[in-house]
Structure 1
Amino acid sequence: MTTPAPEALRLEAALRAALQVAEIPGARVWPEGDALPSVRLFGPLPGKADHDALSVQAWLRRANTNGTAQDGGCSQVSIQFADVDAGHRLAEMLREPADRAQAAAGVLAQELKARQVGACVRGRADGRVTVEIPDPATEPAAMNLARALGASTIAKFLKLDVVEGAWEFTDRLRWLMIGVVGEGVTVDGRFGNEPRVSGIDIQMTPGQALSLVWRLK
């Protein structure tokens, strides 16, 4: 399909940016000169286990994207677009999980900062929001989070500078977070160079992140 060069170039740029945000391994945009660019996948789409033309075609159909998926050999699936709008629709769909996660992460980061919870908050390409909390034995972030959620005695009788105490604290924080935002949130201890917990990682959906913001207010 012949397409005006500026439109094809804009679509090519939008697709490249979307693939970068979505962090799809090995994905490429294939320019076609004065024709529409195509997308070549060498791995599954975000959140999808299957990687073949049939599963990609089904995904395009559910996303209301007018495109055709074809097997290209060597584990490659090529997506051809019916028009420029279809290409931009795919770019939006690829970006959506990361964009939603990043937006929720930004709101949560502000609320945690207001509660003196020093943490690294980010939205991931797969649509999850992560909160990286430093060592609860040396930094107050984890305890400040628990206090803000009404659990000021969460570390009672625990020695956070030893493995057993830190793991018990992590387990208590896990149950606290499940009670606050629901099932699906994960809370795991993080190991550093020493054989003890060096931090705590929390992962949740954007919706759960916003629920946490609501509870913290």
Structure 2
Amino acid sequence: MTSTEASAAELESALADAVSGACYAGRVYVPENDPAALCLVLLSQHRLSFNPEPQETRDWLERAGIEAAVHVDETFNAVVTMRSANSVRQVIDRVFAPYVRVEWAADGLRDVLASHGVDATVRSYGPRGLGVYFSDTEGFACAVRLAELLGVPDIAEGLKLGRPRGMRRLAERVRWVLAGVTGGAVGVQVFPGCVHEPDGVEVRLGTEQAAELGQRLVERAGDW
């Protein structure tokens, strides 16, 4: 490391923010015996594309071209030690940034839906997409409300939403509306209910599509 190059430790906050923003169970710290280095403790496989065992972690880092050492701590967790700012940036970009983006999109969409009275469950699925789930309360009123906000007030016209066929047709109509708004393919899945759970419909969006939908709803707020 040259005298002008940032040390790994200087990016402690950036890595900690990325770990938190990605909703990953990891711990970041500067080791006492190497104050220029930065350590990341891998506490879970959730959201990792590799098994956080020491050798598999080393293999992944090598394949990714990231210079870092790996050891096992006293609680048998793999610890990645980075000694350059570049290595820290690579870990952030390769491991956590995609999840930070999808969680940011999910939070934003969740907030804007709630502000419009749309009671939907938004959850992330992997690093590139999320789902918006509507349960059958009052004839899928929230899905109908969303379509209304997007300029399609009659989306449920002619449908018997208490029947499976009507629910499937509503799901398809919602899918086409969202595909038109977000400019890309939208996945849809119907969840038949049971004694304890009502019927449900979930649409799947990419991260950029979710951001586009949120922005469109923000823009539509001025029309109401």
- Counterpart position of 2:67: 67
Deviations 1:120-167 (A, max 9, x none): 234456242332222165441010111122222222221101111111
When normalised by structure 2's length, the TM-score is 0.63
How does 1:13-92 map onto structure 2 within 5 Å?
A: 22=22, 34-35=33-34, 36=37, 46=48, 48=49, 56-59=61-64, 61=65, 66-68=66-68, 79-83=80-84, 86-87=87-88, 89-91=90-92
Question: Against the structure 1 CA distance between its residues 99 and 39, is the aligned structure 2 distance closer, same or farther, given a 3 Å change threshold?
Answer: closer
Distance change (3 Å), C-alpha of 1:32 and 1:192: farther
Taking a change above 3 Å as real, the CA distance of residues 49 and 182 of structure 1, as seen in their structure-2 partners, is farther
Give the CA RMSD over aligned residues: 4.1
Contact 2:18/2:100 (CA < 8 Å) preserved in 1? Answer: no
Aligned pairs for 1:108-123 (under 5 A) are 108-123=109-124
The residue that corresponds to 1:3 in the other structure is: none
Does structure 2 retain, via aligned residues, the 8 Å contact 1:167–1:197? no
Equivalences for residues 180-191 of structure 1 within 5 A: 180-191=181-192
Equivalent position amino acid for 2:142 in 1: A
The alpha carbon displacement at 1:89 in A equals: 4.9
Q: Which amino acid aligns with 1:57?
A: E
Runs of 5+ unmatched residues, structure 1: 1-6
How many pairs were matched up? 201
- Aligned partner of 1:214 in structure 2 is 215
2: CA distance, partners of 1:43 / 1:192:
32
Q: Contact 2:132 / 2:204 at 8 angstroms: preserved in 1?
A: yes
Q: Which runs of 4+ in 1 moved over 6 A?
A: 13-17, 27-33, 49-52
In structure 1, what is the equivalent of residue 177 of structure 2?
176
Give 1:104's aligned residue.
Answer: 105
Taking the aligned partners of 1:136 and 1:82, their CA distance within structure 2 comes to: 54
- Displacement of 1:208 in angstroms is 0.7
Amino acid at match of 1:121: V
Residue-by-residue CA offset, 1:42-62 (whole Å, 9 max, x unaligned) = 96974x589775554343x3x
**Identical columns (%):** 24
Quick one: which amino acid aligns to residue 213 of structure 1? G
Name the CA distance, whole Å, in 2 between partners of 1:40 and 1:113: 36
Alignment-mate amino acid for residue 190 of structure 1: F
Q: In structure 2, the residue corresponding to 1:154 is in which secondary structure?
A: coil
